[in-house]
């Protein structure tokens, strides 16, 4: 079964609109795991507009499943993850001030940066995943640089899915097959939802993990967190 990692950034975004600690990010992580999430994902940025560096440090002692930290590999981010030592670091190419990730790495253009960073993280015993589009050349680059996994950037799939699901998923099937040939694990994330997740999972049998935040937290406002997590996990069976 594909693992569900819940991105709790949006919990922190809501908290940060007021002073205080409501909603409580640590309690949200505890409840996500209690309700069946198999991982917790966070994406801290230097401006602290959602998950803060202090949250990441606090969560380390609380997360009992898999802790996945996403981010752009500037020095402050690398120092943070090397202090915390999560199970997985997912490197994303967006600048620290970006609203959200909107593209995958060009693993050829940025090969020198990525090779150095991947080596540093793996030396600390951290599994490294690179956020990439469904581009075979970029996936081959990820393997050449020594990444353990890729995370497929699925916004193009989510956008095209309502019009033609088969056509929307085809590039991702090809990408996942090539990753498997290169002994890369395959994760996926961005705009996956209850509407499109099941078909994506059925189409990509070697999918190890999905990281979902915005849609899942939004659904939880209507369905409740426990039922929402159960519904997402049902899509991944």
**CATH number of the domain encompassing residue 230:** 3.20.20.70
pLDDT at position 21: 95
Task: Compute the distance between CA of residue 204 and CA of residue 104 in angstroms, rounded to an integer.
Answer: 19
Annotated catalytic residue 43: yes
Taking alpha carbons only, the member of 15, 214, 211 closest to residue 100 is: 214
Helices assigned H by DSSP within the chain:
9-15, 25-34, 53-60, 75-84, 111-123, 136-145, 155-160, 165-181, 197-203, 214-223, 225-235
SS3 of residue 73 by DSSP: coil
Number of domains comprising the chain: 1
Annotated catalytic residue 66: no
Residues in the chain: 237
Task: Compute the distance between CA of residue 93 and CA of residue 141 in angstroms, rounded to an integer.
Answer: 14
Annotated catalytic residue 190: yes
The structure tokens 């930290």 sit at 69
Tokens of 166: 């088969």
**How does pLDDT run along the chain (237 residues), one tens digit per residue?**
899 999 999 999 999 999 999 999 999 999 999 999 999 999 999 888 899 999 999 999 999 999 999 999 999 999 999 999 999 999 999 866 655 666 899 999 999 999 999 999 999 999 999 999 999 999 999 999 999 999 999 999 999 999 999 999 999 999 999 999 999 999 999 999 999 999 999 999 899 999 999 999 999 999 999 999 999 999 999
HSE on the CB side for 16, CA within 13 Å?
A: 13
- Do β-strands 149-153 and 67-71 pair in parallel, antiparallel, or remain unpaired? unpaired
The structure tokens 């699901």 sit at 165
Q: Which candidate in 33, 66, 190, 209 is catalytic? A: 190
Rounded to a whole number, what is the largest CA-CA distance in the chain? 50
pLDDT at position 46: 85
Q: Which candidate in 66, 70, 151, 209 is catalytic? A: 70
Task: Compute the distance between CA of residue 29 and CA of residue 158 in angstroms, rounded to an integer.
Answer: 26
Q: Which candidate in 43, 50, 151, 209 is catalytic? A: 43
HSE on the CB side for 224, CA within 13 Å?
A: 4
Tokens of 223: 């369905």
Cβ atoms of 213 and 7 closer than 8 Å = yes
Residue 179: give the domain boundaries.
Answer: 3-235
């Amino acid at each position: 079964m594909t693992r569900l990692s819940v991105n709790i950034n949006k919990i922190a975004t809501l908290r940060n609109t007021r002073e205080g600690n409501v909603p409580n990010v640590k309690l949200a992580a505890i409840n996500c795991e209690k309700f069946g999430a198999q991982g917790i994902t966070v994406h801290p940025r230097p401006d602290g507009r959602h998950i803060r560096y202090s949250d990441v440090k606090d969560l380390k002692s609380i997360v009992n499943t898999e802790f996945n930290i996403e981010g752009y590999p500037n020095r402050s981010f690398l120092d943070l993850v090397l202090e915390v030592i999560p199970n997985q670091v997912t490197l994303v190419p967006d600048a620290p001030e970006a609203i959200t990730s909107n593209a995958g790495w060009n693993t050829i253009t940025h090969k020198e940066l990525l090779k150095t960073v991947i080596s540093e993280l793996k030396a600390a015993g951290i599994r490294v995943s690179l956020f990439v589009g469904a581009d075979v050349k970029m996936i081959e680059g990820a393997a050449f640089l020594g990444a353990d996994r890729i995370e497929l950037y699925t916004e193009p799939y989510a956008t095209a899915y309502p019009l033609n699901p088969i056509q929307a998923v085809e590039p991702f099937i090809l990408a996942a097959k090539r990753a498997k040939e290169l002994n890369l694990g395959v994760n996926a994330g961005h705009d996956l939802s209850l509407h499109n997740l099941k078909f994506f999972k059925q189409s990509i049998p070697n999918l190890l993990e999905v990281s979902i935040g915005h849609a899942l937290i939004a659904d939880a406002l209507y369905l409740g967190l426990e039922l929402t997590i159960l519904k997402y996990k049902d899509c991944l069976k």
